[in-house]
Amino acid sequence: MYRKLLSVIVLILIAASAASASPDSSFTVPDTPTGECVKAYFSAFAAGEDAMREFSLKCVAEEALNQRPMDERLQMYTRMKQQIGEIQPVRLLTSDSASMEVLVKSAADQWYSFSFMFEPIPPHKLIGIRIEMADSTMANELTTPMSQQEFTDSLKNRLRMMANEDEFSGVVLVARDGIIIFEQAYGMADKSFSAPNRLDTKFNLGSINKFFTKIAIGQLVQEGKLHFDDTLGSFLPEYPNADARSKVTVRQLLNMTSGIGDFFGKKFDMTPKTMFRSNDDFLPMFDSLPLTFPPGTQQQYSNGGYVVLGAIVEKVSGMPYYDYVRQHIYSPCGMRNTDWYAADSPVENLAQGYTHPNDSSNEYTSNIYTRPARGSAAGGGYSTAEDLLKFTIALDNNQLLWDEYTNWVFGGPEPSPTASSQDLESEPPRSMGIAGGAPGINADIEADFDAGWTVIVLGNYDPPNASRVARFVARWADRIMDN
């Protein structure tokens, strides 16, 4: 079953029946530090505990090592190796500076996808590995071309099988050059009323909303209303943490190097979720806490940092965060079915989230008690697949930002405040892969604008339900021949 995600963060590796050998001579990875790390991992996995200990000390990020003692880490490795036996890396599926996905085969003829995640900034050390069940067809997915008709037929068959097994619930949209070539809905938007998902069903986006927040900051920077090196205290002088006020910059908030923590934790868990109805409602969950590290010295995922960015957008623009994004991002894109809908407000055609906390049970439960009543600048808004397609088209066409700032949100260099669309001498490659997830929530956008394809998958089951689909659809999209 595809639901049997063999998931791990920071080398906490699997618990499943079925899936060590040194890398095959035909298996190749880029000649980069991340590529060397991947090769070293497979060699260490084959060699034993001592080799895995040495690998961890050399290749795993310090923050990840601090989160789990070495003895516990090695015990988990040993259990996993006993369970799955020998494995062989077969093919590199995807690769960029922050991730690498490898197709792996076990001696028991089981197939797996090993996704290695690295720090986005040098020295790009390993921060986690995600392992999922796969199949042998992935071995040819990057080499065998297909027509557009073959693509849609194959995709329809595979998704139908997944839906019949209740392994996917949501909407899948694929576009070429902005034109939809595949769009299907599967599963139930509301199980209580047997209401099916539709093409225009609204799904929770999770952390994809952070991308909108980053664009909002970019718009205000290019207008000269703030700068990347401005401090938090320049805009929020009443922010309780004095160190954060004086030391944390907008740039560090964006890059998650600020040291500001997360709003998730005991305080959040104990607070009724009906209390979260504005971006500011999330601030008391973390704004008095000490910084987790000196700003700029490390990188750590931070929902709190993006809540702070939302507060800065409000201060600089003079508008509530939600209103600013509606007016300056959603409206220009024509996104009429995108908003931060309250959990207790009746909204037509809104997908309810369903979580599956126990892999040994087939029962789903609602996520209504785990998600805030309303989302924030860090995530939790809703949208449809077609609205998100409109967004990607508008973004790529520089309708939301100047050229240089558009390249920046795609991962390019930080632009100067005085940049204009005429300053750009050459257009760098443009692609995006953004996702959001929480219990009963998973959304993913994968796009290669130079190749001309966009994949949008929205789901109302636990991660990586939608992201898993988005990744294999994106691989297939790369194989479509021009008609």
Which residues are CB-neighbours of 455 under 8 A, at least 6 positions away?
172, 173, 174, 444, 445, 446, 447, 470, 473, 474, 477
Contact 277, 246 (CB under 8 A): no
Query: Which range, of 185-189, 397-401, 459-463, 478-482, averages the lowest pLDDT?
Result: 478-482
Could you tell me if 371 and 438 are in contact, meaning their C-beta atoms sit under 8 angstroms apart?
yes
C-alpha torsion 304→207→104→356, nearest 10: 100
The reply to whether 250 and 123 lie within a common domain is: no
pLDDT at residue 43 in the model: 93
Domain assignment present for residue 172? The answer is no
Look up residue 191 and give its DSSP letter.
G
Residues 101 and 240 in one domain: no
Q: Is residue 177 classed exposed, middle or buried when 0-12, 13-18 and 19+ CB atoms within 10 A define those classes? A: exposed
pLDDT of residue 350: 97
Q: State the distance between the two ends of the chain, measured CA to CA, in whole angstroms.
A: 35
Task: Flag whether pLDDT at 8 surpasses 60.
Answer: no
The DSSP-derived string for 39-96 is HHHHHHHHH-HHHHHHHHHHHB-HHHHHHS-HHHHHHHHHHHHHHH--EEEEEEEEEE
CATH of the domain at 38: 3.10.450
Residue 185 in any domain: the answer is: no
199 touches 189 (CB < 8 A): no
In a shared domain, residues 103 and 209: no
Asked whether residue 136 falls in the same domain as residue 209, the answer is: no
Looking up tokens 């789990």, which residue turns up?
A: 68
Does residue 257 contact residue 264 with C-beta atoms inside 8 Å? no
Of the pLDDT bands very low, low, confident and very high (cuts 50, 70, 90), residue 362 is low
Same structural domain, 278 and 362: yes
| CB within 8 Å of 243: residues ≥ 6 apart | 290, 291
Would you state the pLDDT for residue 128?
84
Neighbouring C-alpha atoms within 13 Å toward the C-beta of 278 = 9
Which amino acid belongs to residue 247? K
Lowest mean pLDDT among 134-138, 310-314, 401-405: 134-138
Question: Is the residue at 239 inside a domain?
Answer: yes
**Per-residue pLDDT at 426:** 54
Radius of gyration of the chain (CA): 22
| Cα 241 to Cα 9, 278, 283, 293, distances in angstroms | 30, 21, 11, 13
Asked whether residue 129 is assigned to any structural domain, the reply reads yes
Does 415 or 384 have the greater pLDDT score? 384
In the chain, the number of structural domains is 2
What is the residue range of 82's domain? 33-140
In contact, 175 and 446? CB cutoff 8 Å: no
Whether the per-residue pLDDT at 346 is higher than 80: the answer is yes
Confirm whether 167 is domain-assigned: no
Q: Is residue 187 part of a domain?
A: no
Q: Give me the mean pLDDT over the 376-404 stretch.
A: 97
User: Which whole number is the average pLDDT over 367-389?
Assistant: 94
Q: Does residue 243 share a domain with residue 134? A: no
Supply the DSSP symbol for 202: B
94-103, 130-139, 278-287, 457-466: least confidently modelled range: 130-139
Residues 264 and 357 placed together within one structural domain of the fold: yes
Residue 143 has pLDDT above 70, yes or no: no
In terms of pLDDT, which residue wins out, 104 or 483? 104
The DSSP code for 411 is T
Average pLDDT, the chain: 86
Residues 394-418 have a mean pLDDT of 89
The DSSP line for 220-279 is HHHTTS--TT-BGGGT-TT-S-HHHHHH-BHHHHHHT-S----S-SHHHHHS-GGG--SG
pLDDT value of position 67: 73
226 and 108 fall within a common domain: no
Task: Say which CATH number the domain at 355 has.
Answer: 3.40.710.10
Q: For residue 1, what pLDDT is reported? A: 30
Across residues 210-229, what is the average pLDDT?
97
* Domain edge (last residue) among 91, 112, 140: 140
- Is residue 422 domain-resident? yes
Q: Please identify, among 94, 121, 140, the residue that sits at the C-terminal boundary of a domain.
A: 140
Residue 357 has pLDDT above 50, yes or no: yes
User: What is the bridge-based pairing of β-strands 203-204 and 453-459?
Assistant: unpaired
The answer, yes or no, to whether residue 120 has pLDDT greater than 70, is no
- Are 134 and 274 contained in the same domain? no
Identify the band that residue 224 occupies on the pLDDT scale cut at 50, 70 and 90: very high
Phi-psi region of 117 (alpha: psi -120 to 50; beta: other; left: phi over 0): beta
pLDDT higher than 70, residue 428: no
In 336-452, at which residue ranges do the beta strands (DSSP E only) sit? Answer: 354-355, 365-366, 382-383, 431-438, 441-448
| Whether residue 136 sits in one domain with residue 208 | no
Please state, in angstroms and rounded to a whole number, the distance separating the CA atoms of residues 79 and 60. Answer: 20
Q: Are residues 136 and 208 in the same domain?
A: no
* Per-residue model confidence (pLDDT) at position 359: 53
In angstroms, the Cα distances linking 174 to 186, 201, 381, 477 are 15, 16, 22, 8
Whether 370 and 266 share a structural domain: yes
Inside any domain, residue 153: no
Of 92, 125, 140, at which residue does a domain stop? Answer: 140
Output the DSSP codes for 283-317: GGGTTTSPPSS-TTS-----HHHHHHHHHHHHHHH
pLDDT of residue 183: 98
Nearest residue to 442 via CA among 322, 369, 344, 351: 351
**What value, to the nearest 5°, has the Cα angle with vertex 435 and ends 429 and 436?**
155
The pLDDT value recorded for residue 18 is 29
Segment 367-395 mean pLDDT: 95
Residue 10 has pLDDT above 50, yes or no: no
Per residue in 407-427, pLDDT (tens digit) is 999 988 898 755 454 454 556
